[in-house]
Amino acid sequence: MLQEHAGWVVVGAIAVVLLAALGIAAWSSERNSRRRGAHRARRWDRRPHRNEFRPEGTVTEAPRRRVAIIVNPTKFDDLESVKEHVTREVVNHGWAEPLFIETTAKDTGRGQAEQALREDVDLVCPLGGDGTVRAVAEALVGTDTPLGLLPGGTGNLLARNLDLPVDDLDDALRVALTGQNKRIDVGRLTVDSSGEDQRPETHVFLVMAGFGFDAAIMADAPEKLKAKVGPAAYMVSGTRNLRGPQFKVRVTIDDNEEFTRRARTVVVGNVGKLLGGLVLLPDAEPDDGHLDIVILSPKGIVGWAAVAGRVLSKRRKGHERVDHHTCEVIRVRADRPQEAQVDGDTIGKARAISAEIVPGALVVRVGSAD
């Protein structure tokens, strides 16, 4: 609880900015376990269509294209009406009736997307939060099957960064069904909980991965409070974590010499835009072939004020507490375990993380052919 002290008024204002930039996006993500190590289906491994075996000269009707909708049922009060509406819109655009596959607590999208690939669909659309989008994208990385982005959560951060519709399902469907394909990069994050390379875990991220304060506020937000007040729960967690200690990190960027910092958080991004028009990584682009990194090192109220001002100003350089870098590979090792997150999903504590860019690995449907 905030103390009756004038300085905490400033802290509260700073928290609004920082939590919007670093934490509230987690509200749209599912905090469920991921299926790891599953074989990824490839479109170029598919069996030839049956029409290719028909005798020459046989007239056949061209099959209509089909879309798979990977839907998180917990996001909708009346899922059946949503399905009916989506089906009607898809058919009106000249496509076959969609294949709906629901996510589960144990499989938040990857397995369903792999099933869709086996069904040889032409397009896969996650309909859920940012966590669903990331899980589905994991299965599509390295294939030619496009990802269509439909608004189903609060954040919709990848769609925001690609200037796609985030408030209207019909508009988003139109883009997904009639738009153009664009290849974008993805990030690959390796998390080492021990710091000794013991059973590291690998995750794909589309937006940002974090290490430190940003992940801590997500992990520390009370579940019951989130159910009652939604994103405001992160304000409570944020004010509780604002005065936490810095930790020491050793950072290696590409093949450059290792350097050390005292930090509160390290954020690695494939894109830079967050909710409310806030831009944490001003130079980040989804197809520029590199990652953007920001190391935040605030100390006390003055330090957090400086960080908040830097985020609002969208300036990349110019303050010792906000350290920006660009790279293809980054390795970070902390002096003690820190909470980590990937696209808003907390993934536990880690002593070391590394991230690399995978250029052009994901096809996304953007723009419009109209």
What would the mean pLDDT of 23-36 be, rounded to a whole number?
43
Give CA–CA dist 93/131, Å, rounded: 28
pLDDT digits (tens, 9 = 90+) for 147-161: 999 998 767 889 999
pLDDT digits (tens, 9 = 90+) for 228-240: 666 666 666 666 6
pTM of the predicted protein model: 0.79
Which residue from 207, 226, 244 is spatially nearest to 343, judged by alpha carbons? 207
Pairing status of strand 180-192 against strand 150-151: unpaired
The answer to whether residue 257 scores a pLDDT higher than 50 is yes
Task: Output the pLDDT for position 279.
Answer: 86
Tokens, residue 255: 């093949």
In this structure, which amino acid lies at residue 68? A
Return the half-sphere exposure (C-beta side, CA atoms, 13 A cut-off) of residue 105: 0
The more confident residue out of 289 and 58 is 289
Tokens, residue 328: 């293809």
**Confidence bin at 323 (pLDDT 50/70/90):** confident
